[in-house]
C-alpha cells in the first residue's frame, strides 16, 4: 500500500499558484491511472486506485500548507502506511524551473509543508521536489510562490506533470534513480538513430 501526497493550499484563490504544483501533480496522477473520485476524508481530498498491482492513495491536504502533516498523519495512521511507503510532491525554489529531484529522508529546507509532515510522521519518506525557480531575493520568495504560473511557465509545467504521472510506477517500485531517468527521457527523448548502411548488398 502506498500514499502519494501533493502539497498546496485549498481553494480557487490558490489553484494555479507555484506553491500548488503538488496538487497539480496529484490531479494528473489520479487522471492518468484511473483512480476513483476524490472524497473529503482525513482533513484532505483523498482518491484511491491501483498502480503496478499495488493499492495507492492520493491525497491533497485541505489544511493549508503549514499544517499538511495533520492530514498526512491521519491517513498514514488509519491505513497503517509507513513513512518509506509515502511520497510527497511539492515545489522547490532552489531547483531550476522544470527540474526534478527525488530522495528519501532529509530536511525540510525551509518548506513549511514538509516541516509539518516531518513533525508528524518523521523524515523517512520520499520527497519529490519539482523546481519552480527562485525570484532571486529571499524577501520575494513568499509572494513568488503564491503567484500563478505565467503563460511562459505553462510550456514546461504541463509536460513535467504528465511525465511525473507516467513514470510514477517506477517510483512506486522504490526506484528513485529510475523514476528520475524515465521522467528525463519522457521530457527529452533521444534523437532517432540514423538508418544502418546495408553493407551486405555492397559489391
Active-site option among 19, 33, 111, 134: 19
How many C-beta atoms lie closer than 10 Å to residue 36's C-beta?
A: 11
In the numeric block, which cell numbers belong to residue 126? 520520499
Categorise residue 95: left if φ over 0, alpha if ψ from -120 to 50, beta otherwise: beta
> DSSP letters along 36-52, please?
---EEETTEEEEEEEET
Asked whether the beta carbons of 75 and 44 are under 8 A apart, the reply is yes
User: Distance between CA 57 and CA 86 in Å, rounded?
Assistant: 10
Q: Which residues of 87-103 are buried (b: 16+ CB within 10 A; e: fewer)?
A: bbbbbbbebebbbbebe
H or E segment to which residue 61 belongs: strand 54-61
Backbone phi, psi, residue 97, to 5°: -55, 130
Q: Is 134 a catalytic residue?
A: no
User: Distance between CA 183 and CA 29 in Å, rounded?
Assistant: 14
Enzyme catalytic residues? 19
Amino acid at each position: 500500500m502506498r500514499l502519494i501526497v501533493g502539497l498546496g493550499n485549498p481553494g480557487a484563490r490558490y489553484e494555479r499558484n507555484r506553491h500548488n504544483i503538488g496538487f497539480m501533480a496529484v490531479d494528473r496522477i489520479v487522471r492518468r491511472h484511473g483512480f476513483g473520485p476524490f472524497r473529503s476524508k482525513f482533513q484532505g481530498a483523498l482518491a484511491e486506485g491501483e498502480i503496478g498491482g499495488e493499492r495507492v492513495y492520493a491525497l491533497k491536504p485541505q489544511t493549508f500548507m503549514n499544517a499538511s502533516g495533520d492530514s498526512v498523519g491521519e491517513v498514514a495512521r488509519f491505513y497503517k502506511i509507513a513513512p518509506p511507503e509515502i511520497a510527497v510532491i511539492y515545489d522547490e525554489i532552489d531547483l531550476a524551473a522544470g527540474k526534478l529531484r527525488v530522495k528519501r529522508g532529509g530536511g525540510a529546507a525551509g518548506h513549511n509543508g514538509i516541516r509539518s509532515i516531518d513533525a508528524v510522521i518523521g523524515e523517512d519518506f520520499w520527497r519529490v521536489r519539482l523546481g519552480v525557480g527562485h525570484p532571486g531575493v529571499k524577501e520575494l520568495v513568499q509572494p513568488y510562490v503564491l503567484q500563478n504560473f505565467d503563460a511562459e511557465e505553462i510550456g514546461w509545467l504541463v509536460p513535467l506533470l504528465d511525465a511525473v504521472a507516467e513514470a510514477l510506477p517506477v517510483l512506486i517500485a522504490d526506484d528513485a534513480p529510475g523514476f528520475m531517468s524515465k521522467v528525463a527521457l519522457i521530457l527529452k527523448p533521444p534523437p532517432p538513430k540514423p538508418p544502418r548502411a546495408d553493407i551486405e548488398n555492397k559489391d
